């Protein structure tokens, strides 16, 4: 038995660096053996930082490396699905950043390749591994709050991304709400059958000019009768706002934001604290470590990954349905968009 799982990293941008450093410094059960990036300097810099022995010129070189057991696909979204197909064909286990793609066709091709080659795939819905949300899931699983009735997710960014990013993002539902769609399914442990989205441009007219919205509420109907809401905004002036609340037959559970400290200052003006953690890499740092540990453990122990390939598809269906609901001003069933051809 090899002592460590050998990993190839594809993409050394923002999230690639997070995952690379996590594997290098926080997951002793795995080793990074190669890294590649469209920008060779980025790959080289990360290799130096994390002592990665090999800088590959492209992803194909990584897939061809016989020493590599698994790959982390952290490149731009439009490349995820094709890379996943190639990785699967090469017999590599796959950790793929979310979303797999913006279209169901490409997602389905990736899922088919994964299934056919019998490799494992985990999609990067890291928030499931956050201690707060994991606690909520545990509460529902254990029956602590009884049968769930209502769920409310607040998910607001500290500020909007650049307009250039908005234009290629696929729209707020696919880019931002996608995490919340996954969270909704994860927490309730049931599928959503219908969504109704109300949305608008409140933060920046340029976002509207780019054909997107920046503020939305999405109402979810679950197959088991639970009603959920997702409250999204591209800008929360006080910082990153990430909370959930579930009401059940025996009680409720809710979570608060994470703060850099727990100090409270009382003066003649107010009783106040510092702002919550402002950046997803601070807020979700621990979750990135936990998701990769779980991925490595799933591969090493030949267990199912905790966020499967199928888990990567459904939130895209939900996002497409939400977009359709917003455009048509009516509730939309997921079955209306789930069979392809709609993008």
Interface with a copy of itself in residues 214-233 (CB under 8 A): 215-217, 219, 221, 225, 227, 229, 231, 233
Q: By the 8 A CB rule, do 162 and 154 touch?
A: no
Distance CA 177, CA 203 (A): 16
Smallest separation (angstroms) from a copy of itself to the CB of 218: 9
42 Cβ contact list (under 8 Å, min separation 6): 12, 13
- Of positions 146, 193, 206, 338, contacts a copy of itself by CB under 8 A: 146
Q: For residue 327, what are the β-bridge partners?
A: none
Confirm or reject binding of residue 131 to a copy of itself (CB under 8 A): yes
- Computed over its alpha carbons, how large is the radius of gyration of the chain? 20
- Of positions 41, 67, 112, 274, contacts a copy of itself by CB under 8 A: 274
Task: Please say which residue, 88 or 244, places its beta carbon nearer to a copy of itself.
Answer: 244
Distance CA 151, CA 244 (A): 7
Contact set for a copy of itself, span 226-265 (CB under 8 A): 227, 229, 231, 233, 235-239, 241, 247, 249-258, 260-265
- Of positions 29, 42, 89, 149, contacts a copy of itself by CB under 8 A: 149
Distance CA 131, CA 94 (A): 24
Contact set for a copy of itself, span 1-40 (CB under 8 A): 25-26, 28
Per-residue string for binding with a copy of itself, 179-208, x by CB under 8 A? -----------------x-xxx-xx-----
Task: Please say which residue, 118 or 142, places its beta carbon nearer to a copy of itself.
Answer: 142
Distance CA 47, CA 44 (A): 5
Smallest separation (angstroms) from a copy of itself to the CB of 16: 18
Distance CA 238, CA 48 (A): 36
Contact set for a copy of itself, span 295-324 (CB under 8 A): none
Q: Tell the burial category of 262 from Cβ atoms under 10 Å away from its Cβ (0-12, 13-18, 19+).
A: exposed
- Of positions 45, 152, 208, 342, contacts a copy of itself by CB under 8 A: 152
Smallest separation (angstroms) from a copy of itself to the CB of 267: 3
Smallest separation (angstroms) from a copy of itself to the CB of 247: 6
Question: What's the longest Cα–Cα distance across the chain?
Answer: 67
Question: Is the preceding peptide bond at 132 cis, omega within 30 degrees of 0?
Answer: no
């Amino acid at each position: 038995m090899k002592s460590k799982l050998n990993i190839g990293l594809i993409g050394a941008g923002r999230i690639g660096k997070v995952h690379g450093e996590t594997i290098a410094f926080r997951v002793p059960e795995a080793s990074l053996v190669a890294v590649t990036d469209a920008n060779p300097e980025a790959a080289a810099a990360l290799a130096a930082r994390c002592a990665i022995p090999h800088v590959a010129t492209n992803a194909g070189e990584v897939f061809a490396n016989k020493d590599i057991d698994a790959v982390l696909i952290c490149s731009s979204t439009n490349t995820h699905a094709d890379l996943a197909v190639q990785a699967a064909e090469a017999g590599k286990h796959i950790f793929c950043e979310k979303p797999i793609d913006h279209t169901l066709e490409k997602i389905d091709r990736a899922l088919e390749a994964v299934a056919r080659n019998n490799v494992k795939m985990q999609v990067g819905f890291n928030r499931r591994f956050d201690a707060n949300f994991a606690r909520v899931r545990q509460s529902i699983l254990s029956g602590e709050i009884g049968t769930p009735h209502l769920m409310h997710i607040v998910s607001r960014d500290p500020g909007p991304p650049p307009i250039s990013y908005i234009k290629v993002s696929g729209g707020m539902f696919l880019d931002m709400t996608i995490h919340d769609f996954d969270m909704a399914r994860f927490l309730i442990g049931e599928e959503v059958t219908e969504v109704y989205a109300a949305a608008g441009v409140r933060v920046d007219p340029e976002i509207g000019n780019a054909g997107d919205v920046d503020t939305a509420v999405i109402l979810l109907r679950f197959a088991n009768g639970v009603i959920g809401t997702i409250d999204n905004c591209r800008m929360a002036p006080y910082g990153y706002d990430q909370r959930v609340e579930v009401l059940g037959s025996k009680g409720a559970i809710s979570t608060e934001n994470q703060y850099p400290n727990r100090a409270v200052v009382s003066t003649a003006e107010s009783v106040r604290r510092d702002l919550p953690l402002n950046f997803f890499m601070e807020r979700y740092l621990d979750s990135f470590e936990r998701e990769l540990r779980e991925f490595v453990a799933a591969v090493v122990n030949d267990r199912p990954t905790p966020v499967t390939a199928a888990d990567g598809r459904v939130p895209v269906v939900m996002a497409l349905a939400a977009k359709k609901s917003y455009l048509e001003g009516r509730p939309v069933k997921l079955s209306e968009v789930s069979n392809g051809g709609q993008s």
